[in-house]
Amino acid sequence: MKRISKIFAAVLVVAVMLSCLGVGALAADEPRTITIGTWWDIFYDSTHTALEDDPSYTGSVSDQMRFDVVKAVEEKFNVKFQYVNLTYTGITESINTSILAGTPECDIYLCDLTMGIPAAVNGLALDLKTVLPEDADILSDQTVLNYLDLGDGKVCLMKQVLGQNVVEATSPLAFNKQMLEDNNLEDPRDLYARGEWTWDKFVEYCQTLTQDTDGDGVTDQYGFTGYKEDVLSNLLMSNGATIAAGTEEGLSSAATGEALQFYYDLYNTYNVCEPYVEQDNGDVMRFTYRNGNIGFWPSAAWIASTNADYDWDGSVGSTLEFDTVFVQWPVGPSGDQETNKAKLTAGAFWFIPNGVEDPELVYNVFEALSNWYNDDVSIRDDVETMWWWYATTASDPDLQQENYDVMFDLGSREQFDVYQSLEAQVDGWDLEQLIFGTMTAAQYQETYRQQFQAAIDSYFG
Amino acid sequence: MKAKRILALLMVTLMCVGVFGGASAWAEEAPVSVDFEDGNMGFVSVYDGMANSDACALEVVDYNGSKALQITNGSGKVPYVAFDVASLLGDKAGDVASIDMTMGIVNPDGEFYACSGNVMLWMDGGLSSEKHGWSVYLETKNPKNAPTALNPDKGEVFSAEQPLMIVTLEVDNGATAGAANAVLYIDDIAFKDADGNVIEADTSAAFTAPEGFGGSKDMSNLQYLGADAVELEGMAGKAADAWTQDGVEMTEEFLAALVPGSVIEIEYSSDTGDMWIVMPDATVGWSRVEQQTAATNLSKNICQITYEQIAAVCGDDVSTWGARLQCEASGAWEVYGVKVGQPTGLKNLAGKVEIPEMAGKAAGAWTQDGVELTEEQLALLVPGSVIEISYASETGDMWIVMPDAAAGWSRVGNPNDGQSHAFDGSVAQVTYEQIAEVCGDDPTTWGTRIQCESSGAWEVYGVSICSGAFENVKGNVEIPEMAGKAADAWAQDGVELTADQLALLVPGSVITIQYASDTGDMWIVMPDASAGWSRVGNEAPLCDGSMAQVTYEQIAAVCGDDPATWGTRLQCEASGAWEVFSVNIGTAA
């Protein structure tokens, strides 16, 4: 054993000496292998030889194109590439140890926000602005890749532009089409198109819709309802406000204060909301719109599908007698229709670590892989694949398309704000204190701002 | 570039010294607490108390040029390997601030697949919720060091009450990809104090199981036999291929216990999970009994066959059953023990709520002691609920006394007075209905005090009020696609049931879920029911933190009597983040 070690070491010595003398051209034409660290299996890469290597292969055009793009990328960039499933624990360890040591084990990492934010904030993730030309897709058109804007001017966390990535987790404002028509109210989408869909107009609509329809002296129709978490996030974004979008808390900001005050007023000043069910975890207040006596509510594709509102798969028949129409949230006094964000960031991202050799090549390979559909969005987001997203929100095909377009618009304007993830660390935080009027907006801000700052400090490390 | 060349020349110099000079002092091995070179592993044990626990095999073997602890997966579940740190380190155990271990994996097919798991402590009678991940994620770094820094602020301190370090292997990419499970190796464990000093270990120490660690045999779907059950000598270690029998002649003692009402219990493993008995010499002819239908626990390693089931095949006269008893399975099998005894009537209980003030109560024979129940505790006494007492007594019996009942001072379950209840010398169970029989149907008249009593001197270790008893289920069919489903709190995930699986949902059927959830609860959701999206079992879930059951009748109460209208999807849900290990559908035994 000792003898073999000495021979091996001697060979190493020779190799290192050759390297010192500049004999390095031997491997000049060898393709570089680009390693992409993940925590689930992703298909296809240079190790796959057949379409059937992907267990979920269905024979679709998109499957074929995702398979074919591998060879095209290999040839165009003279590379091989491989997705390596490191496990979730492994990818976290690899990010925190190998990048910090200056020798990243992967050329690209898949990450969630828990890993990605600290990596970006602490300089482990490469700022692509420092290595890419200005016309790179992610820095210009963003047709293939976009990025998570952390407000620090850097471009670190990439996301592939996919129809589903865009529309998922969107929470449009929904309205009961027939109720608005019965009350001779103009379609809010037209108001939005003209830049007139504001909080004031929204209150005006809600006041019109809040009625005692049977004349017994008790209000039985309401302008608005909604689960508290869904409502606050959208009021914040519609007013250009955030609470935990960076290292400084935004709870105490004026814009957040306006959003909290508006929320308070909807229940306690304008009295246009359905009575709130105390300590509801979303099971009740997300679905009372189905009773047909609500004008506006926060919706989502999954909410509409939960009770098969519109028979998305044809199995049970539509269960609502009115149409649900999606519209953007009205714009608050500190908001701007042009710049307001509209969807809280979630999901998985990718980043190139600092210390990677030739990061521009790595980016170009990843962009080319991500554009397996050759810029043909109709293949990337083909209706067959996306059918559920269309059919679940409406029965009328035109309305399905219109609702999808609203979701896509909202999903195209992501807001990074992790305040919902931090709420559990804020002792006493409960939006019902605003809803039931036991705390004013100002009291709410003052009571919780320090706790939020502590939670943010812990999150960003 | 110049700097790189200088660095390379430095490396060459170092290597030359290494090759020709034999100067190896700089590479001296760091000290460790446990290196397994002495072959000792008596301080290690497998923990099988989780629903997903694997019955893995432990062995000290040669690995990577030295001895290491080898952990071989037995059934594809999660290995939980416990190290008795308190016994290893003695009074220094409390000084441990960090742990280094060398972890390596070998995949039987020669490929490399990443693996990861957790390191945790034994706390409060179970696994700590604080977990430290380890991973071996690159072939080029296999084996590698797995460092763990303990957090004393969260109670992570080894002590007599918290003596164990438990290592799991939870993510096995090879197994997920369809390959065989990885073999895990652990070596060179260094327990370090806050200054980084390695603490010396006594590797001759023997594993001492803390309270709650042992006695976790999976008795789901099974009856509890009395302590006087009779072992059938010679059966342990019998093994054979699929559809091949082996066994022994029944002893006189065994035959004497094989009487009406008795139950034969077999501990076993088989490739197919089933097991039954064969009576080869029966007068009625060579006979299989309960072929592939014996009552089996969810771990599929214990089955039970009743006297009456044998009589149904071989006739009522035991003398005609022949002298031999054999075992058989549809896959290769091994038996670890066969015994026969009378069931105690003890049940597997759900929704346990401790009455902490009762622990430690003790008294002499025919003397009572107990506590005043709070309003919350009294509210738990509802039809179907059961009071469970963990105890010791000189005479083996134990019952309760309701001293303030409107019906008068009342003993409930005193076997010396002809009252029946279930007990086995260490556990006693008294049902709501048994109390009602003595004290009347209205629990508000039972008084607020509850006491324990026995005919011998006694001590109580714990008393719980349980929401109900799990059904014993036969003929379980697993829904394999449900294994591994997981989601956040109040989020659902599940599968589309096949026509064959839907056909299992008949009156009397029971869905059994093995799971873990942050909040301990678990129920099902029928998202496509004609009655609308429906939760079933969430109002009063029958669950114990690792097993939950939902009956056909519960589903019918929510979704209607016609199962054709229930939809074809079945989902799970909990009020905390959850993971499901298995879902079975069977019928109540």
Are the C-beta atoms of B415 and B383 separated by less than 8 Å? no
Same fold, A29-168+346-385 and A173-344+388-460: yes
Within 10 angstroms of residue B369's Cβ, the number of other Cβ atoms is: 17
* Residues B173, A281: C-beta atoms closer than 8 Å: no
Distance separating alpha carbons of residues A108 and A86, to the nearest angstrom: 12
DSSP calls for B16-37:
HIIIII---GGGPPPP-SB--T
Which pLDDT does position A1 carry in this prediction? 32
- CATH 2.60.120: does it fit domain B473-588? yes
Selection from B436, B469, B451, B446 nearest residue B543 by Cα = B469
Same fold, B44-192 and B230-341: yes
CA B471 to centroid of chain Cα atoms: 17
Comparing CB atoms, the residue among B113, B138, B532 nearest residue A105 is B138
DSSP-derived secondary structure letter, A214: T
**Best of A11, A85, A87, A88 to disrupt the B interface by mutation (most B CBs within 10 Å)?**
A87
- Which chain A residues touch B12 with a CB distance below 8 Å? 13, 16-17, 20
Q: Provide CATH code, domain A29-168+346-385.
A: 3.40.190.10
Å between B456 CA and nearest CA of chain A:
50
Kindly give, in sequence order, each residue whose CB lies less than 8 Å from that of residue B110, ignoring residues fewer than 6 positions away: none
* Residues A281, B490: C-beta atoms closer than 8 Å: yes
Closest chain B residue by Cα to residue A7: B19
- Which chain B residues touch A16 with a CB distance below 8 Å? 8, 11-12, 15
Q: Are strands A108-111 and A158-160 parallel, antiparallel or unpaired?
A: unpaired
Are the C-beta atoms of B207 and B45 separated by less than 8 Å? yes
Are the C-beta atoms of B212 and B127 separated by less than 8 Å? no
Distance separating alpha carbons of residues A193 and A181, to the nearest angstrom: 18
Closest chain B residue by Cα to residue A306: B533
Q: Which amino acid is at B359?
A: A
Å between B22 CA and nearest CA of chain A:
10
ipTM of this predicted structure: 0.71
Å between A209 CA and nearest CA of chain B:
28
Q: Are strands A222-224 and A343-344 parallel, antiparallel or unpaired?
A: unpaired
* Residues B18, A9: C-beta atoms closer than 8 Å: yes
Q: Give chain A's residues under pLDDT 70.
A: 1-28, 312-317, 461
**Best of A33, A36, A89 to disrupt the B interface by mutation (most B CBs within 10 Å)?**
A89
Selection from B220, B254, B218, B207 nearest residue B234 by Cα = B254
Which pLDDT does position A20 carry in this prediction? 40
- Which chain B residues touch A315 with a CB distance below 8 Å? 528
* Residues A90, B528: C-beta atoms closer than 8 Å: no
Distance separating alpha carbons of residues A355 and B587, to the nearest angstrom: 60
DSSP-derived secondary structure letter, B191: E
- Which chain B residues touch A17 with a CB distance below 8 Å? 12
Å between B450 CA and nearest CA of chain A:
35
* Residues A85, B136: C-beta atoms closer than 8 Å: no
Contact status of B392 with chain A (Cβ, < 8 Å): no
Distance separating alpha carbons of residues A91 and A83, to the nearest angstrom: 12
Where exactly are the structural domains of chain A? 29-168+346-385, 173-344+388-460
Distance separating alpha carbons of residues B428 and A28, to the nearest angstrom: 78
- Which chain A residues touch B8 with a CB distance below 8 Å? 16, 19-20
DSSP-derived secondary structure letter, B38: T
Distance separating alpha carbons of residues B86 and B43, to the nearest angstrom: 10
| Local confidence pLDDT in tens for the 589 residues of chain B | 344 444 444 444 444 443 333 333 344 568 999 999 999 998 999 998 776 778 788 999 999 999 999 999 877 778 999 999 999 999 999 999 999 999 999 999 999 999 999 999 998 778 887 889 999 999 999 999 999 999 998 899 999 989 999 999 999 999 888 899 999 999 999 999 999 999 999 999 989 888 778 645 788 899 999 888 999 988 887 889 999 999 999 999 999 999 999 999 998 888 888 999 999 999 999 999 999 899 999 888 899 999 999 999 999 999 999 999 999 999 999 888 899 999 999 999 998 888 989 988 999 999 999 999 999 999 999 999 999 998 888 888 999 999 999 999 999 988 887 777 889 888 999 999 999 999 999 999 999 999 999 999 999 888 999 999 999 998 899 999 998 899 888 889 999 999 999 999 999 999 999 998 888 899 999 999 998 888 998 877 789 888 999 999 999 999 999 999 999 999 999 988 899 989 999 998 8
* Residues B12, A17: C-beta atoms closer than 8 Å: yes
DSSP calls for B421-458:
-EE-SSEEEEEHHHHHHHH-S-GGGS-SEEEEE-SS-E
Distance separating alpha carbons of residues B449 and B441, to the nearest angstrom: 17
CA B345 to centroid of chain Cα atoms: 21
- Which chain A residues touch B115 with a CB distance below 8 Å? 87
3-state secondary structure of B365: coil
Å between A11 CA and nearest CA of chain B:
10
* Crossing angle for the helix pair A61-77 and A359-370, to the nearest 10 degrees: 160
Comparing CB atoms, the residue among B19, B137, B176 nearest residue A10 is B19
- CATH 2.60.120: does it fit domain B349-469? yes
The residue to which tokens 């692509």 are assigned:
A128
Q: Is the preceding omega at residue A44 within 30 degrees of 0, hence cis?
A: yes
Architecture field, domain B230-341:
Sandwich (2.60)
Q: Provide CATH code, domain B44-192.
A: 2.60.120
* Residues A90, B116: C-beta atoms closer than 8 Å: yes
Contact status of B484 with chain A (Cβ, < 8 Å): no
Distance separating alpha carbons of residues B92 and B193, to the nearest angstrom: 9
Selection from B298, B294, B309, B293 nearest residue B221 by Cα = B298
Where exactly are the structural domains of chain B? 44-192, 230-341, 349-469, 473-588
pLDDT per residue as tens digits for the range B353-388: 889 899 889 999 999 999 999 999 999 999 999 999
3-state secondary structure of B564: helix
- Which chain A residues touch B137 with a CB distance below 8 Å? 86-87, 89-91, 93-94
Rounded to a whole number, what is the largest CA-CA distance in chain A?
101
The residue to which tokens 């209205």 are assigned:
B442
Contact status of B15 with chain A (Cβ, < 8 Å): yes
Element (H, E) at A370: helix A359-370
* Residues A308, B136: C-beta atoms closer than 8 Å: no
Query: How many residue contacts between A and B have a Cβ separation below 8 Å?
Result: 75
What pTM, to 2 d.p., does this model score? 0.64
Element (H, E) at A455: helix A441-460
* Residues B12, A281: C-beta atoms closer than 8 Å: no
* Residues B171, A319: C-beta atoms closer than 8 Å: no
Q: Is the preceding omega at residue B527 within 30 degrees of 0, hence cis?
A: no
Distance separating alpha carbons of residues B304 and B291, to the nearest angstrom: 12
Closest chain B residue by Cα to residue A54: B177
- Which chain A residues touch B177 with a CB distance below 8 Å? 41
* Residues B134, A307: C-beta atoms closer than 8 Å: no
Task: Give the CA dihedral A434, A435, A436, A438, nearest 10 degrees.
Answer: 0
- Which chain B residues touch A19 with a CB distance below 8 Å? 8
Comparing CB atoms, the residue among B15, B173, B176 nearest residue A12 is B15
Distance separating alpha carbons of residues B525 and B11, to the nearest angstrom: 64
The residue to which tokens 């039809």 are assigned:
B383
- CATH 3.60.70.12: does it fit domain A173-344+388-460? no
Kindly give, in sequence order, each residue whose CB lies less than 8 Å from that of residue B47, ignoring residues fewer than 6 positions away: B53, B80, B81, B82, B127, B166, B213, B216
Tokens of A450: 């320090």
